[in-house]
Amino acid sequence: MTIQHNKVLQKPETFYDTFVRKGDSELKATHYCPGCGHGILHKLIAEAVSDFGIQDKTVVVSPVGCSVFAYYYFDTGNIQSAHGRGPAVGTGYKRANPDSILISYQGDGDLAAIGANEIIQAANRGEAITVFFVNNAIYGMTGGQMAPTTLIGQKTTTTPYGRNSHSEGFPIRMSEIIATLEAPVYVERCMLTDAKNITKTRKAVRKALKAQIDHKGFSFVEVLSGCPTGWKMTPQEAKNWIDSALSKYFVPGVFKDVIEEREPIIIKSEKPSPEDYHKLMGLSHLSEKEDIVPTPKKNSFHEELKIAGFGGQGLLSLGYVIANVAMGHQYEVSWLPSYGPEMRGGTANCSVKISDKRIGAPLVANPTTLIAMNKPSLEKFVNDVVSGGTIIYDSGLIDTPPSRNDVTVIGLPATEMADKLGSTKAANMIILGIFAYLKKQILSDQYIRRALPRILKNKAFHDINQKAFQTGFDYADKHV
Amino acid sequence: MKKVLMKGNDAVVRGALLAGCQNYFGYPITPASEIAEGSALLFPKVGGTFLQAESEIGAINMLYGAASSGVRCMTASSSPGISLKMEGISYLAGSELPCVIVDITRGGPGLGNIAPEQGDYNQIVKGGGHGNYKLIVLAPNSAQEMCDLTMLAFELADKYRNPTVIMADGTIGQMMEPVEFPQPVTSFPKKDWAVKATAETRENLISSIELDPDRLEVHNQKLQKKYAIIEEKEVRCEEYRSEDAEILLCGFGIVSRLLQSVVDEMRAEGIPVGMIRPITLFPFPKKIIDVYASKKNVRFFNVFELNNGQMVDDVRLAVNGRKPVFYYGRMGGNLPTIKEISGEIMKNMRQS
Amino acid sequence: MSASKGHVIIKASECKGCQLCIEACPVHVLKLAEKLNHMGYKPATYTGEGCTGCGICYYTCPEPGAIIVFKGWDTWSEKAMCPVCQKETKVYHAKNGKDVVLCTECLNPIP
């Protein structure tokens, strides 16, 4: 007769046959102490992974703590992570490889202390991962220090007089916390004591993994587990202490189970061909012919602009347009804003450099042209303008004209003029018209008109931008 | 090819996508936020993932996870955020995971400010995280290089299984310049070491732990050999009007743009000045500096930085006492003016 | 000799003597061995009779491969000559190698 394998309970295939990564001669036994709960949970997980037939696509993230070496045992893909960061590592992995099954295996220090944020956030995003959380109320690997789940009065090497709530606070109940979040689909606390509870844990492990296999989202199983060494007890005493103390504070139970109600989320992303990338990024919307003035670089040209005023006057945009236009004429350009909080109200300015040669420093210290749209800006930069340069300022907003007689000064009430056209926001385009007129030997005004809708894409302003540009251009024709 | 006027930060995002980067994990911070915003906009369009992490620690560890699977992935931040990422960076280096980290540096220490400083040189180039590791560090000085070096960063990261950093100050990130975008990368190296959740890769392990001192030493020696190869093969450096220069200016990032202007101005006055700009901060162009340091006509080196003198240590090590090495720096996010720099050089000319 | 419904093998070389299985066994057929194993533990051992094949000891055991439980032992009929035990023993098919048959007493492969 053929023997049925399910008639034999033996080391699941998801364990390595020999634990060669341990690097010692003990190739069949774990590094865990006698009676340690980790081994029991490992076995339940390995069995479930084998039974579900997901061994090849499973990746286990090992934490820092006693189970740091989980990769010695699980014959799956393995990633060892930094202390507490398993859920973040798992998130990155699963996002990059959504077809995998990702297990984050963590202890109480790892998950509830140093990694408390990572677990909460991964749970809250509903990452499609499964977290197994071994709560043994102590730091095992480092030699028995207090864990965030250490009970009040429990003695550890860092609470030698017993944990005191006035000093160390209270043990943290992670399952309860995670169950309050919207995204997780399954949260249960179990314990590894007697046959009945181990069976419950076995079911919980399988249910949590099944939820991930079915694309239901984030599942979390907390396991109260014995640490005879850390607790300085025999394995039997440890088991009894879970029963009589630990499980009284960390009460086992299902805290959340909405697996059935949740629809599966299957991530299928379209992967366009790289040939289409330029188009997708908006880098190929115009042909070269349309975009470039065909007779460039006839002129030696060097211009340094400082454009300054209130945030919201569109001055960074003005600089952007000028730089774009000059680039269309195949000049070298740079545009540099004053950035950060200044942009959000208050004053704003930008530096634009245009040159027929490679541009060095992008910051304009001594502008050849200053465009000042408010008084503080004019005052700040007026003396920086090079002798023989140009100052364009809004005479409607600035009552005292610049006190320089070695520069060309053009004052016009640009904002008022723009207001008459229908929007004060178009003042910048009036100034553009002025600037274009001044540089008409070098920059084609026809090109500017043609390029404007491409550079400033907001269609609502296309008409008024053209009108304002013309207004400025005409004004300069008459007055300059 | 067509040029697009674009911020350095935006060019980084496009360069990453053209290099085949599929996963972005990050946390907003000025002056690097455009990279997160641009990624949020564009990564989904190419079937990739953008995720705003809960913290820099979250982001760097997500990068660790994604890189473990063999995909090209990146994160970006600015100085204080990079400090927070240091733990993860050490792990990435230890586990030899290829990925790209962009640091748009700002003023420090502490919260400092958002103005352009280069005070991250030591934490990025010299470590920052614990252990005997090196990052490959690229320092662009234009929007074009923000694209090009980002693409190169992915290539080098994969080639050497090493995290690679784009370190640019806030000015380079915020500045707009014309950028020509190359064609997308279509062939990628095989990554047999990656954990791909397949039968073939089931045996693979991504890990930085090795309890046995001998074996950890072997691992470290292997890393050092790799770094030596990188130093041999991957140095990139711009030498500007330096061939006959008697005075060599040295600076990276935005400072090199200022120095370039200074060189042009002083050359116009007949002063034989040239510039050496390290593009790779690791590997540092020591051999190139060494050549200049042994030239008879070279009078001195003058290093300019936006920090308290960090790269100057590497220049001094390369010069090794053969010539004077002067340092001038601004901090707090201030850029020196051209006049200030040339004044400093003139002063040193009188002294040496 | 055995009318037992199940059978349990505890690999002395993998057992750390924590006794969780001994305590958990509902029919009390496990005990500590007298002899220390190579790790210095007194391993658990099967008294030889009365196992029901319930598997509780298997799930209670923290070591991945220390315990093997055979269910329905009384219905197992496949036997072969084991060269190690030098007698006819019950055999089962090993988990990984499809054609590997193991002796259930010494766990060595039978050619």
Q: Please say which residue of A257, A279, A305 terminates a domain.
A: A257
CATH classification at residue C5: 3.30.70.20
Establish whether chain B is in contact with chain C, requiring a minimum of 3 CB pairs below 8 angstroms.
Answer: no
| Alpha carbon of residue A43 to chain centroid | 36
B78 vs A: CB within 8 A: no
Answer whether A359 sits within 8 Å of B257, measured CB to CB. yes
Contacts of A34 in chain C (CB under 8 A): 16-18, 41, 62
Q: Are residues C57 and C86 in the same domain?
A: no
Same domain, C37 and C22: yes
Q: Indicate yes or no: CB of A334 within 8 angstroms of CB of B177.
A: yes
Considering only residues 246 to 285 of chain A, which have any Cβ-Cβ distance to chain B shorter than 8 Å? 269-272, 274-275, 277-278, 280-281, 283-284
Is the same domain home to A335 and A411?
A: yes
What's the average model confidence in pLDDT over A49-65? Answer: 97
The reply to whether C70 and C94 lie within a common domain is no
- Please list the residues that pair with A337 across neighbouring strands: A350
Among candidate residues B233, B257, B286, the one where a domain is terminated = B233
Q: Do C64 and C90 sit in the same domain of this protein?
A: no
Is A290 within the bounds of a domain? no
Q: Does A82 touch chain B (CB under 8 A)?
A: yes
| Tens digits of residue pLDDT in B155-167 | 999 999 999 999 9
Q: Are residues C14 and C66 in the same domain?
A: yes
Q: Which residue of A has its CA nearest to B254?
A: A361
Please indicate, yes or no, if residue A271 is contained in any of the structural domains: no
Average pLDDT over residues B68-92: 98
Which 3-state string (H, E, C) describes C31-66?
EECCCCCCCCCCCEEECCCCCCCCCHHHHHCCCCCC
Residue with tokens 């503080």: A376
User: By residue range, what is the domain housing residue A379?
Assistant: 296-479
pLDDT single digits (tens) A17-52: 999 999 888 999 999 999 999 999 999 999 999 999
Residues in chain B closer than 8 A to A340 (CB atoms):
30-31, 114-115
pLDDT above 70 coverage of chain C, percent: 93
The chains found to touch B (3+ Cβ pairs under 8 angstroms) are: A
B30 and B164 part of one domain: yes
Per the structure, the complete domain to which residue C54 belongs is given by: 1-74
Kindly tell me if the per-residue pLDDT of A295 is higher than 60: no
Q: Which of B233, B260, B287 is the last residue of a domain?
A: B233
Which of B203, B233, B263 terminates a domain? The answer is B233
pLDDT band at A393 (very low <50, low <70, confident <90, very high): very high
In a domain, A285, yes or no: no
Structural tokens at position C69: 């439980």
Tell me, yes or no, whether B246 and B264 share the same domain.
Answer: yes
Shared-domain flag, residues B137 and B14? yes
Containing domain of residue B248, as a range?
238-351
Tell me: do A89 and A234 sit in the same domain.
yes
Judgement on whether residues C2 and C50 belong to the same structural domain of the protein: yes
Q: Domain of A216: which CATH number?
A: 3.40.50.970
| Residues B212 and B138 occupy one common structural domain | yes
- How many domains does the structure of chain A reveal? 2
- Domain membership of residue A266 (yes or no) is no
3-state DSSP of chain A:
CCCCHHHEECCCCCECCCCHHHCCCCCCCCCCCCCCHHHHHHHHHHHHHHHHCCCCCEEEEECCCHHHHHHHHECCEEEECCCCCHHHHHHHHHHHCCCCEEEEEEEHHHHHHHCHHHHHHHHHHCCCCEEEEEECCEECCCCCEECCCCCECCCECCECCCECHHHHCCCCCHHHHHHCCCCCCEEEEEECCCHHHHHHHHHHHHHHHHHHHCCCCCEEEEEECCCHHHHCCCHHHHHHHHHHHHHHHCCCEEEEECCCCCCCCCCCCCCCCHHHHHHHCCCCCCCHHHHCCCCCCCCCCEEEEEEEEECCCCHHHHHHHHHHHHHHCCCEEEEEECCHHHHCCCEEEEEEEEECCCCCCCCCCCCCEEEECCHHHHHHHHHHCCCCCEEEEECCCCCCCCCCCCCEEEEECHHHHHHHHCCHHHHHHHHHHHHHHHCCCCCCHHHHHHHHHHHCCCHHHHHHHHHHHHHHHHHHHHHC
Q: Nearest to residue B288, comparing CAs of B319, B312, B254, B261?
A: B319
Do residues B28 and B41 both lie within one domain? yes
Q: What is the pLDDT of residue A297?
A: 56
Residue A94 lies in a domain: yes
Q: Is the pLDDT of residue B336 over 90?
A: yes
Average pLDDT over residues B144-152: 98
Same-domain pairing of C66 and C107: no
Same domain, A212 and A306: no
Cβ separation of B114 and A340 shorter than 8 Å? yes
ipTM of the complex: 0.96
Residue B16 sits in the same domain as residue B160: yes
The per-residue pLDDT for A150 is 98
pLDDT in tens, B18-61: 999 999 999 999 999 999 999 999 999 999 999 999 999 999 99
The confidence band for C94, taking pLDDT boundaries of 50, 70 and 90, is confident
Residue C88 — pLDDT band, cuts 50, 70, 90? confident
Inter-chain residue contact A77 with B73, CB threshold 8 Å = no
> CB-CB: which of C26, C64, C69 is closest to A15?
C64
CB contact under 8 A, A284 and B69: no
CATH of the domain at B209: 3.40.50.970
Tell me: do C66 and C82 sit in the same domain.
Answer: no
C66/C90 same-domain check: no
Shortest CB distance from A34 goes to which of C13, C18, C26? Answer: C18
Q: Do residues B157 and B282 both lie within one domain?
A: no
Do B179 and B192 sit in the same domain of this protein?
A: yes
Could you tell me if B312 and B344 lie in one domain?
yes
Instruction: Please tell me if residue B268 touches chain A, with a CB cutoff of 8 Å.
Output: no
Using an 8 Å CB-CB cutoff, list residues of chain A that contact chain C.
Answer: 1-3, 5, 7-13, 15, 17, 26, 28-30, 32-40, 42-44, 46, 73, 194-195, 198-199, 202, 228, 234-236, 239
Per-residue pLDDT at A216 exceeds 90: yes
Q: Which CATH number is B272's domain given?
A: 3.40.50.920
Residue A308: give its domain's CATH number.
Answer: 3.40.920.10
Residue A2: pLDDT band (50, 70, 90) is very low
**For position C76, what pLDDT does the model report?**
82
| Chain C residues inside the 8 Å CB shell of A236 | 19-20, 23
Region of residue C17 (left: phi > 0; alpha: psi -120 to 50; beta: else): left
Contact residues, B window 148-207, toward A, CB-based 8 Å cutoff: 170-171, 174-178, 181, 184-186, 195-199, 201-202, 204-207
The tally of domains found in chain B comes to 2
Q: Kindly state the tokens that stand for A255.
A: 């805290």
Residues B226 and B327 in one domain: no
Residues C89 and C109 in one domain: yes
Mean pLDDT of chain B: 97
Instruction: Say yes or no: C86 and C42 in one domain.
Output: no
Instruction: Tell me which DSSP letter residue B283 carries.
Output: S
C69 → closest Cβ in A9, A12, A199: A9
Please name the residues between 275 and 314 in chain B that touch chain A, using a CB distance below 8 Å.
none
Q: Do chains A and C touch (3 or more CB pairs under 8 A)?
A: yes
B23–A55 CB contact, under 8 Å? no
Between A35, A42, A202, which is nearest C64 by CB? A42
Of C23, C54, C70, the CB nearest to A8: C70
User: Do C25 and C67 lie in a common domain?
Assistant: yes
**In terms of DSSP H, where are the helices of chain B?**
8-18, 33-42, 56-68, 79-94, 121-125, 143-160, 170-174, 213-233, 254-268, 286-293, 311-319, 338-351
Q: Examine the domain organization and report whether B195 and B270 are in the same domain.
A: no
Q: Are residues B72 and B154 in the same domain?
A: yes
Gap between the Cα atoms of B341 and B306, Å rounded: 12
Query: How many CA atoms lie within 13 Å of B68's alpha carbon, on the beta-carbon side?
Result: 38
A–B CB contacts, 8 A cutoff, strictly below:
228
Q: What is the chain C residue with the closest CA to A50?
A: C95
A87 and A27 in a common domain: yes
CB-nearest partner of C39 from A15, A29, A73:
A29
Specify the number of domains making up chain C. Answer: 2
Q: For the segment A296-341, what is each residue's pLDDT rounded down to a tens digit?
A: 556 688 999 999 998 889 999 999 999 999 999 989 999 999 865 5
pLDDT for B159-199, tens place per residue? 999 999 999 999 999 999 999 999 999 999 999 999 999 99
Residue A294 scores a pLDDT above 60: no
In a domain, A411, yes or no: yes
Q: What is the mean pLDDT of chain A?
A: 93
A9/C58 touch (CB, cutoff 8 Å), yes or no: yes
- Residue A40 maps to a domain: yes
